[in-house]
Amino acid sequence: MKLILPLDLVADIEPHLPPDTEVVRVDVEGNLDGDASDAEVYFSWFLSRSPTLHKIIEAAPALRWHHAPNAGVNHILTPTYLKRDIILTNGAGVHGIPIAEFVITYILAHAKHLPELYALQAERHWKRGFAIQELTDATLLIIGAGGIGQEIAARAKPFGLKIIGSRRHPQELPNFDKVVGADEWRSLLPGVDYVVIATPLTPETKEFIDESVLRWRSPPKASLPNHAYLINIARGGVVDESALIKALTEGWIAGAALDTVNSEPLPPESPLWSLPNIFITPHTSGHSPKSKQRSIALFIDNLKRYQAGQPLRNVVDKEAGY
């Protein structure tokens, strides 16, 4: 069997491969160091450009399975890619722990006024009287109660938060007080203190955090209360940025933490940088020294399943987009 592996990971993966495995290495530009025409398996590594992906799959007409380390695969599911009958698996869950830790950081930074307190320390200014909040009995809505959402809930629950999740197929989950269906979360918005977006970017979720969500209106057109705090660790495209800019400028909500935005890297001239009550991180919430290890372990486990003809983990529903 022949595999296409990213150049940077070959040394980590090769010791785990069966002796009869051939490896074709590929660099970040999609250049291959051998003949990939009979390669069955491709492990990509955080592709940033569609032409690179198209170049690789064109060179591998026998490709049957592609594993991507990302949880979100909207950038992979191009019309060119979808013409091919390739099983796609993703890295859902691999980055859940570091992302969940970042979400707790965002929540605590807001509740405890950490940015203001850091600024006061830098100014050597002793000031008191902040409206510091507790997390006990606050309500956290996690839109997207998949692997990452469940890791967030596991870390948020010990703080005493009431946790509501939403997912395409609702079911009882550990650490969640309630799990609702795809669009049912909208009716719950007036009672939410913190909302985390952890859903894939699909045609249904594109800019679904819009003015109707961010600007208070009386039910039945439910929306977030003005003390709510928004956290996006999903994809920038799920948030209508023009509506968010209005929301933060005019005080529709209390603040936001964004680990992802529409245009990355975020241009210096973007108004998002200077908005009040915003915490921007450079798409770094999933970073951890252990993420690479988990990605490789998932791929090796799936490779064993593939060779044994067993069902693969994390198979993407290409029609649904995740």
Tell me the catalytic residues: 235, 264, 283
CB-CB contact of 139 with 116 (8 Å) = no
Report DSSP state, residue 157: G
Residue reference for tokens 């951890």: 288
279: Cα separation from own chain's centroid = 17
Report DSSP state, residue 32: B
First-last CA distance in the chain: 27
Report DSSP state, residue 71: S
CB-CB contact of 141 with 194 (8 Å) = yes
Residue reference for tokens 């913190």: 194
CA dist 68 and 66 (Å) reads 7
CA dist 32 and 83 (Å) reads 22
Report DSSP state, residue 8: G
Instruction: From 296, 294, 242, select the one nearest 271 (Cα to Cα).
Output: 242
| Angle at which helices 289-308 and 96-111 cross, to 10° | 150
Tokens of 227: 């003390």
Find the radius of gyration of the CA atoms of the chain: 22
CA dist 39 and 36 (Å) reads 5
CB-CB contact of 208 with 214 (8 Å) = no
Burial of 155 (0-12, 13-18, 19+ CB in 10 A): middle
